[in-house]
Amino acid sequence: MLTIGPLGFTAPFLLLALIALPILWFLLRAVPPAPIRRRFPGVALLLGLSDDETQSDKTPWWLLLLRILAVAAVIVGLAGPVLNPRSEAAGSGPLLVLADGTWADARDWARRLDRIEVAVTEAGRAGRPVAVVVATDLPEGSLPFQAADAWLPRLGALSPNPWQPDDTLAGWAAAQDGDFDTIWLSDGIDRAGRDDVLAALEARGSVSVLESGRSVFGLRPARFEDGLIRMTALRAQPGTEALVTVTARGLDPAGIERELARIQTEFLPSETEIEIDLTLPPELRNRITRFELSGIRSAAAVSLTDDALRRREIALIAGRDDREGLELLSPLHYLEKALVPNADLIDGSLLDILQANPDVIVFADVARVTDEETAALTEWLEGGGLLLRFAGPRLASSDISRDLEDPLMPVRLRIGGRSVGGAMSWGAPKALRAFAEGSPFFGLPVPEDVTVSAQVLAQPDPDLADRAIASLADGTPLVTRKPVGSGQIVLFHVTANAEWSSLPLSGLFVSMLERLAVSSRTAQPDAAELEGTVWEASEVLDAFGALGDAERLRGLPGERLAEGVPAADMPPGLYAGADRRLALNVIGAEDTLAPAVWPERVSLSGMDVREETRFKGAFLTAALLILIADLIASLWLSGKLRPRGRAMAGLVAAALAFGAAPETWAQTEDEFALAATSEVALAYIVTGNERVDEVTRAGLEGLSRVLYQRTSIEPSEPIAVNLEMDEISFFPFLYWAVTPDQPIPSDLAYAKLNRYLRTGGMILFDTRDADTARFGSSSPNGRMLRQLARPLDVPPLEPIPDDHVLTRTFYLIQDFPGRHVSPDVWVEAAPPDAEQVDGMPFRNLNDGVTPVVIGGNDWAAAWAVDRRGAPVYPVGRGFAGDRQREIAYRFGVNLIMHVLTGNYKSDQVHVPALLDRLGQ
Amino acid sequence: MRDAPSLRADADALAAPLPPLMADAEHLASTMLLGDHGRRRSGMGEEFWQYRPAMPNDEARLIDWRRSARSDTHFIREKEWQAAQTILIWVDGAQSMEFASKGRQTKADRARTLAMAVAILLLRGGERVGLTGADVPPRRGEVQLLRLAAGLLSIGGGSTDYGAPEITGMLSKSRALFISDFMGPLEPLEAALTAAADRGVRGALLQILDPEEEAFPYDGRTVFESMGGRLQHETLQAGALRDRYLQRLAERKDRLAELARITGWQVDCHHTGESAQAALMWLFGALEKVR
């Protein structure tokens, strides 16, 4: 092999053929392209003219160069050029390829695999046995030395792990016997025990270390301080500026994971740590499932959040808030004080609050809730809500849950409650009994000074013992609990303020709320707290920072979890305990990152692999391309390419023109909205039949003029609406002329239409065939109308009754003619219970506007005017026709009035009665 | 090649919109044949010119009694003096006229049509029209149209590359029209024009060119041949010759204009890509002009 710089040739002798190129130069100066013979009378004028360039009597030099280049490319290509030809690796004997395989490797694992493959291939060329070992997943027993060919297919299965090599690595390395060389692909992170491993490996043979220069980033767990979410981003190597983006990810209301927040910050050259503060509204904050450094695929760049970040939403509702100013007596005062530090409080009416789906609803002395609220609360409870109730004078005096257990009370109550230790009673105020095992409060110390002087008493039902979770020294239940679905109801038998007991004044109250998961703990549980608990991994991270299921992992004792360092049996992830979830992250709250330091004697090199690239194919392809270019050039030279060239130019120009076209849509949409909303505009639906559309437009223009002249409605120009593309919610009124050949709107358009009809829009369907057909499917237009209206949300219809509000919204009319005079005009039917009251001219009819008016009188044609305001189409005959047109206009005015004012005229029928009453 | 009736039909269609062409009959004495040309003075003719009071030496039969009855004096009805002009048309029939670029008429076709149209107009105007080079002596009347058409058709397909105008049979003080591409040597034309001018003949030169001759849209290696193949010119870069060719063409046109100016003729260049109407309008103007 001949090598020139980075380029080598497998068959260098072929390059000798390049000497022949100058000969080709002469050979290829071939005869010029054959001339074209042209008959041309003007030749007499040409006689005696000589060509300017003598050169072009031969092949042009550039064509010649092209041909020579092609030949040269063929010669060089056949000589087999190779870029970066690999020289044989030095060394002999077995080779160990040791990869750290930690989360820090994950970011460029593909490159590391490439490098391992190169090392294995080289060893295979040299005939050396190879073992490939990932330090985080050590093989059992001795090193698995095998031929390189056996390793190559298995390399792809190697993967990094989201933990670090443990202490056993040094011992494992020392335990190996036999001599071998080592290539160590380090992850570049400093960790204890590395020197021991290095020493053990060097005892067996030479060690060369490969490290990529890329910096390793990490993210410490987020904590919640002073209303801010605070995080620390780490990196191993200072020295350069680096931009990092932290994104908070979580579920959106639809349950799809997406980015909730994003913050960008920069490492100064000297920094290895930066603090990041994030403010988020509680709704978003509670949904966060993890933070990550975006763009970095590593488990260290992901920080899972557990319950520590979560702030519970609590709604406080008091039964009595009429005594302003008595804050210390307020039933909610102590609750608010206890909850504000670590929960978000919501105000509002009960039904509004339920919409927000809070975690806890607190009823302080609330006796009655309505049936509707009860149903909503029950649904919420079954979905996992916690209803916390406190007793009080109202609850005690009400008859709630007396005979039958109220669905929102855990127990039945006895009438009146009791009061102990007061001025008028025997005995001293009662103290609390220590909490029994099985109670959620078990283990909380009971202070001596907490006394109860009044309470409501539970009826001694069979299940009272199970439901009581705290009781007084004399055994009367103080706190009772009942599960409802996956939620629960808890009743404190005392008030939430200090009226009945001193409990709310004590620290125990806060602890009890905490135990009830009313307020969340923000502190990470310590080892003592975790002792004896068992945790189960619910989701685990892989080294690349992706969450996966944790099916195969066994339950983990709390002590182990308290160590907080991920290992093979404890991968980072989310661990679920009895009542909360804990996140175990790759980077702990105290961890730092530092670059690995290697002793001088170790040969350290980068990860870059210079690929051996064979250029044979490329050169031959280039030769082929050059020959094609030569062909085209030759054709062009001989003038045979001209017209086609022009056609191509035309095509290109046409393509460019096409590309520029579709840009106008977005801005026209805005213009459309502006035109439709800046003034009232009547609109019609485009049927696709130009003539019909023009009639409709002219008709609406005529109606608009009449409205402008006679009423306070001053519409602008009518607007054509395309159901598929335009927004129709801008228009109070749509005119829909039915033609037998118009396209059926798409489902999306129908959804739009139904929304339009439900929210108060009106559509006037005009089949325009009342002269030949009655209402129904007897005509093509009628059949089309049925087809069009089938998916629509049309209420039951009836012919316009005599007392319909349409007959009197502006004019008093009884007929609704257009060009045709048919009585068949249908509107929404009156409710069946509408009855005529004695003395009233009209029934008290439905409230809203009829969403559809259906008829076939071709009103638009009767209304239609041209630009000068003259009628376009004849209506009727003579004066009778004029009268008919006038009534048609009046119907139009009434219709638009009805659309815009609703049942206003219906209400006016009560005016005599109102005046009558006012007179009294 | 077209037959006589179709040629005449084409020419009729072309000639229809124009009023009868009134050729200038400047020198009445030399031809002295009555035509439909008003001389703007009283004389022999058919059209009414004016009434004038009768003089004592007027013959009594000349008195217009109808007019005289309306007044006391006698009037004589005078008629406009009318005279016919002789026009000779020469159409180049050489092979160079057979050239046509793609999708166009040959120059010869266009030349014949124009010549025929002019002849129709002139004959309707009462002139005497003939062809030189085809032996159709100038005569009047509708029948002459058929002779002219036959003569024009016999001209085509000449044996030479470039044609030279013939002036045999040209009466002095008559008018002439030469239609050609004037691509050949200019000496014969010069001689003819000079000879014509010597005889007091005035006229018009219409140069008919194909748009390709005007644009020279050729490129690459080309051998240009004259239509008969007698002349050849080979070039390797036809495109490079364009400017010099156009320059020579312009020089030629200048030369034609110069010749015309000297001899008192008029000259115009017509392209087969354009409407023939425009050329006919020009011919109408050129032959009508009274000087």
CATH code assigned at A877 = 3.40.50.12140
Q: CATH 3.40.50: which residues of chain B?
A: 4-24+85-288
Mutate to test the interface with A, among B219, B224, B248 (most CBs of A within 10 A): B224
Mutate to test the interface with A, among B102, B208, B212, B226 (most CBs of A within 10 A): B226
| Tens-place pLDDT, residues A128-163 | 888 888 888 877 777 778 888 888 888 888 888 888
Question: Which residue among A34, A39, A45 places its CB closest to the CB of B225?
Answer: A39
What pLDDT is attached to residue A327? 59
Q: Which of A482, A497, A515 is the last residue of a domain?
A: A515
Structure confidence at residue B145 as a pLDDT band (50, 70, 90): confident
The answer to whether domain B4-24+85-288 has CATH 3.40.50 is yes
Which chain A residues are within 8 Å of B225, Cβ to Cβ? 37-40, 43
CB contact under 8 Å between B224 and A638, yes or no, is no
Specify the length of chain B in residues.
Answer: 291
Q: In terms of domains, do A224 and A113 share one?
A: no
Identity of residue A81: P
CB contact under 8 Å between A41 and B227, yes or no, is yes
Q: In terms of domains, do A729 and A870 share one?
A: yes
Identity of residue A656: L
- For residue A185, give the CATH number of its domain: 3.40.50.410
Q: Using a CB–CB cutoff of 8 Å, tell me whether B240 touches chain A.
A: yes
Can you tell me the mean pLDDT for A802-810? 83
User: Is residue A46, in this structure, part of any structural domain at all?
Assistant: no
Other Cβ atoms within 10 Å of B158 Cβ, number: 19
What pLDDT is attached to residue A91? 66
What pLDDT is attached to residue A319? 63
User: Is residue A48, in this structure, part of any structural domain at all?
Assistant: no
Sheet with A716-721, edge to edge strand ranges: A716-721, A681-685, A733-737, A762-766, A852-855, A826-828, A797-799
CB contact under 8 Å between B213 and A41, yes or no, is yes
What pLDDT is attached to residue A651? 54
Separation CA B222–CA A35 (nearest Å): 5
Nearest-CA neighbor of A491 among A366, A319, A373?
A: A366
Q: What percent of chain A clears pLDDT 90, i.e. is strictly above it? A: 5
A to B CB pairs, distance under 8 Å: 101
Q: In terms of domains, do A386 and A469 share one?
A: yes
Question: Which residue among A33, A41, A639 places its CB closest to the CB of B183?
Answer: A41
Residues of A with CB under 8 A from a CB of B: 32-47, 49, 51-53, 56-57, 637-639, 642
Q: Using a CB–CB cutoff of 8 Å, tell me whether B252 touches chain A.
A: yes
CA dihedral angle for residue B107, residue B206, residue B8, residue B86, rounded to 10 degrees: -150
Asked whether the beta carbons of B265 and B1 are under 8 A apart, the reply is no
Give A352's Cβ-side CA count (13 Å radius).
Answer: 6
- List, in sequence order, the alpha helices (H) in A350-499: 350-355, 371-382, 393-397, 464-467
DSSP notation for A44-65: HHHTT---S-SGGGS--HHHHH
Q: In terms of domains, do A550 and A693 share one?
A: no
CB contact under 8 Å between A40 and B183, yes or no, is no
Structure tokens at A552: 């195969």
* Cα angle value A600/A602/A603 (rounded, 5°): 110
Q: Using a CB–CB cutoff of 8 Å, tell me whether B220 touches chain A.
A: yes
Residue A56 predicted with pLDDT over 50: no
Which chain B residues are within 8 Å of A637, Cβ to Cβ? 220
Q: In terms of domains, do A505 and A561 share one?
A: no
User: Is residue A395, in this structure, part of any structural domain at all?
Assistant: yes
What pLDDT is attached to residue A499? 82
Residue A915 predicted with pLDDT over 90: no
User: Is residue A697, in this structure, part of any structural domain at all?
Assistant: yes
Residue A578 predicted with pLDDT over 80: no
Structure confidence at residue A834 as a pLDDT band (50, 70, 90): low
Residue A918 predicted with pLDDT over 80: no
| Tens-place pLDDT, residues A198-234 | 888 888 888 888 887 777 888 888 877 776 788 888 8
Can you tell me the mean pLDDT for A835-848? 60
Nearest-CA neighbor of A141 among A149, A131, A150?
A: A131
Asked whether the beta carbons of A12 and A79 are under 8 A apart, the reply is yes
Can you tell me the mean pLDDT for A828-846? 64
Structure confidence at residue A695 as a pLDDT band (50, 70, 90): very high
Nearest-CA neighbor of A574 among A614, A538, A547?
A: A538
Structure tokens at A755: 């929304």
Residue A308 predicted with pLDDT over 70: no
Which chain B residues are within 8 Å of A642, Cβ to Cβ? 219
Q: In terms of domains, do A271 and A376 share one?
A: no
Only one residue has tokens 């991994």, namely A537
Nearest CA in chain A to B215: A42
What pLDDT is attached to residue A893? 93
Give the burial class of A869: count Cβ atoms within 10 A of its Cβ; 0-12 exposed, 13-18 middle, 19 or more buried: exposed
- List, in sequence order, the alpha helices (H) in A833-903: 859-863, 878-901
Structure tokens at A333: 């005062």
Cβ within 8 Å of residue A896, ≥6 positions away:
A682, A703, A707, A713, A715, A732, A733
Q: In terms of domains, do A389 and A263 share one?
A: no
More confident residue, A5 or A469: A469
Separation CA A803–CA A793 (nearest Å): 25
Nearest CA in chain A to B106: A41
Residue A1 predicted with pLDDT over 70: no
Give the gap in angstroms from C-alpha A626 to the nearest C-alpha of chain B.
22
Residue B39 predicted with pLDDT over 70: no
Q: In terms of domains, do A190 and A291 share one?
A: no
Separation CA A908–CA A912 (nearest Å): 8
Q: In terms of domains, do A300 and A323 share one?
A: no
| Tens-place pLDDT, residues A242-265 | 888 888 888 777 778 888 888 888
CB contact under 8 Å between B222 and A34, yes or no, is no
Q: Which helix (H) or strand (E) holds A454?
A: strand A454-455
Q: Which of A498, A515, A532 is the last residue of a domain?
A: A515
Residue A888 predicted with pLDDT over 90: yes
Identity of residue B220: G
Instruction: Report pTM.
Output: 0.41
Asked whether the beta carbons of A212 and A236 are under 8 A apart, the reply is no
Nearest CA in chain A to B95: A41
Name the least confident of A299-303, A872-876, B116-120. B116-120
Q: Using a CB–CB cutoff of 8 Å, tell me whether B187 touches chain A.
A: no
Q: In terms of domains, do A681 and A792 share one?
A: yes
CB contact under 8 Å between B226 and A43, yes or no, is yes
Can you tell me the mean pLDDT for A429-458? 84
Residue A88 predicted with pLDDT over 50: no
The CA radius of gyration of chain A, in Å to the nearest whole number, is 44
Beta strand segments in B170-241, E: 175-180, 202-209, 222-225, 232-235
CB contact under 8 Å between A56 and B237, yes or no, is yes
Question: Which residue among B162, B221, B241 places its CB closest to the CB of A44?
Answer: B162
CB contact under 8 Å between A32 and B181, yes or no, is no
CB contact under 8 Å between B252 and A45, yes or no, is yes
More confident residue, B44 or A169: A169
CB contact under 8 Å between A40 and B225, yes or no, is yes
Q: Using a CB–CB cutoff of 8 Å, tell me whether B225 touches chain A.
A: yes
Q: In terms of domains, do A446 and A338 share one?
A: yes
Can you tell me the mean pLDDT for A363-367? 80
Q: Give A650's DSSP letter.
A: H
Which chain B residues are within 8 Å of A41, Cβ to Cβ? 96-97, 99, 161-162, 181, 183, 210, 213, 226-227
User: Is residue A81, in this structure, part of any structural domain at all?
Assistant: no
What pLDDT is attached to residue B28? 26
What pLDDT is attached to residue A15? 80
Residue A861 predicted with pLDDT over 60: yes
Give the gap in angstroms from C-alpha A630 to the nearest C-alpha of chain B.
17
Domain that holds residue A297: 217-311+520-592
Can you tell me the mean pLDDT for B201-230? 85
**Beta strands A762-766 and A852-855: pairing type?**
parallel
* Cα angle value A787/A792/A795 (rounded, 5°): 115
Q: In terms of domains, do A565 and A681 share one?
A: no
Number of domains comprising chain A = 4
Structure confidence at residue B23 as a pLDDT band (50, 70, 90): very low
Structure confidence at residue A844 as a pLDDT band (50, 70, 90): low
DSSP notation for A665-697: HHHHHHHHHHHHHHS-EEEEE--S-HHHHHHHH
Considering chain A, what is the average pLDDT of its residues? 79
CB contact under 8 Å between A43 and B225, yes or no, is yes
